[in-house]
Amino acid sequence: MQIDWLHFTPWASLSGGLLIGAGVAVLLLLEGRVAGISGIVGGIFRGVFREFGDAAWRIAFVLGLVAAPLLFASVASLPESRIVASPLLLALAGVLVGFGSRLGSGCTSGHGVCGLARLSPRSFAATLTFMAAGFATVFVLRHVLA
């Protein structure tokens, strides 16, 4: 197995992980909320706002997710991104991810980042399940069906 040293970025990866951890901790400390993206976005689309403050933090969180790479791109160059799947396959993948997120009562950010940090057994089981499903999907699509 050959390692592509040009794409080995431990400092950028560590920095990103620290920023994600800090953001999750701030949201938990200030709002008492877990930073699960599916729950945050789902709350916006369901219109389940107990008060304006509930809507405001959700919208601000999502805007921050969109604004951060744009801000970074204004001062540095983003790596080239190339998607080699058809639009239909991407749409199907999005639907399946949404279904899995509902089925698992959370997503990778809620269970994988926040739940594991809180040593939640339920999040550990959910994270193992979606990681195994992801590995199996990639294996089947790349090595069995390709």
Euclidean distance between CA atoms 44 and 63, whole angstroms:
12
Report the amino acid identity of residue 123.
S
CB count within 10 Å of CB 145 equals 7
16: pLDDT strictly greater than 90: no
Residue 111 burial by CB count (10 A; 0-12/13-18/19+): exposed, middle or buried?
buried
65-119 per-position pLDDT tens digit = 899 889 988 998 877 778 888 899 889 988 888 888 888 888 888 888 888 888 9
Euclidean distance between CA atoms 125 and 109, whole angstroms:
14
pLDDT for the residue numbered 49: 59
Euclidean distance between CA atoms 114 and 122, whole angstroms:
12
Instruction: Provide the whole-model pTM.
Output: 0.71
Q: Are 116 and 127 in contact (CB under 8 A)?
A: yes
Euclidean distance between CA atoms 66 and 60, whole angstroms:
10
Euclidean distance between CA atoms 117 and 2, whole angstroms:
32
Mean local confidence (pLDDT), 20-37: 87
